[in-house]
Amino acid sequence: MAVIGIESSAHTFGVGIVEKGKILANEKMMYPISDKGIIPAKVSEYHAKNASTVIRRALSAAHMGLGNVEAVGYTKGPGLGPCLEIGMLAAKTLHEKLGIPIYPVNHAVAHIEITKHLSGFADPMVLYVSGGNSQILSLAGGHYHVHGETLDIGVGNMLDNFARAAGMKPAWGSTVAKFAAGGRYVKLPYTVKGMDFTFTGLLTAAIKLLPSSSVADVSFSMQETAFSMLVEATERALLLNGKDSVILCGGVAQSLRLREMLATMSASHKKRFYVADNQFNADNGAMIAYVAERMKESGCTPLRSDLTINQKFRIETAGVP
């Protein structure tokens, strides 16, 4: 019997199916992002329109029908309220129609746990980087402990904002990486405080440089500076806590340069390093299904009529089975 997971915290509507930790399906549809960024009401309309299509696609990819599904999970948060609502309603429909238990999942826990599961590492130091989040964490006492994090915006947000200011299309981090190829280093503000870091000063300085320097040089320098900050703080957390491995996850984990820098740092300390296939770094339903299955197997009490979302669902407050 399988578990279905629904992810809808931002512009992706994802549906995954998992059975005993094995991923049988991971289907998604993504709202096309315009230059104006994400308008939550528009995205939630898109999710509502496509929810049943993505669920059908996932069932067909897993070669099963709804009769084979024994539980459902959904993203409770963090994320955009109107988008989270649609995922919760889709999961609620399955829960009521099929009479199966329903589990609320923390989005960040899901990114980390699916990566940890695929890595096979027992207790890694985690660098979780996405649009809205940039955190260094490890598991302690049944929940994730945040060792360090951004004190302002997420690194993904910084890259997207810069891409927009520089007139790149599409305006997101992977485009900055393309422009960065062949750039030369120019000095930019580097801010690490213990294991915390900030990105708005770096973003402002990079945008100010745009009229006088080449886009390639500024893209390259901003990326090198931001990623060095993340790697320095991760290295400190890794060594202070005596972990034997590092994992990288979240949307910005798709960056080849960040992977390279973390792999080099890990190898220099003889620590193992893992980053998952990009389908799990981007938002996806399989990670929600995986955690929901773990919650079910661990005897977590499923929800009844108390279904909620939480746009600011902090990872420390989410129990990890």
Q: Count of CB atoms within 10 A of residue 74's CB? A: 30
Nearer to Fe ion, 130 or 221 (CB): 130
Minimum CB separation of residue 244 from Fe ion in Å reads 26
128 versus 179: smaller Cβ distance to Fe ion = 128
Cα distance between residue 233 and residue 240, in whole Å: 11
Q: How far apart are CA 24 and CA 286, in angstroms?
A: 8
Q: How far is CA 130 from CA 172, 175, 221, 289, in A?
A: 12, 15, 19, 20
Instruction: Tell me, by CB under 5 A, how many residues bind Fe ion.
Output: 2
**283 touching Fe ion, by CB under 5 A:** yes
Residue placing its CB nearer to Fe ion in the complex, 3 or 112:
112
> Quick one: DSSP state of residue 141?
T
List the x/- string, 74-113, binding to Fe ion by CB under 5 A. Answer: ----------------------------------------
Q: Which is nearer to Fe ion, 100 or 129 (CB)?
A: 129
Least distance between Fe ion and beta carbon 321 (Å): 20
Q: Which of 261, 134, 126 is nearest to 197 (CA)?
A: 134
Closer residue to Fe ion in complex, CB, 121/280:
280
We find the least distance from the C-beta atom of residue 215 to Fe ion, in angstroms, to be: 27
The least distance separating Fe ion from the CB of residue 127, rounded to whole angstroms, comes to: 14
Per CB under 5 A, 7 contacts Fe ion? no
Q: Which is nearer to Fe ion, 130 or 254 (CB)?
A: 130
Q: Cα separation of 89 and 66, whole Å?
A: 17
Integer Cα distance of 221 and 234 in angstroms? 20
Question: Which residue stretch of 211-219, 259-267, 281-289, 308-316 sits at the interface with Fe ion (rule: CB under 5 A)?
Answer: 281-289
By CB under 5 A, which span of 116-124, 151-159, 217-225, 276-284 interacts with Fe ion?
276-284
- Strand pairing partners for 150? 197
Rounded to a whole number of angstroms, the CA Rg of the chain reads 20
Q: Are 7 and 48 in contact (CB under 8 A)?
A: no
| Contacts to Fe ion by CB under 5 A | 130, 283
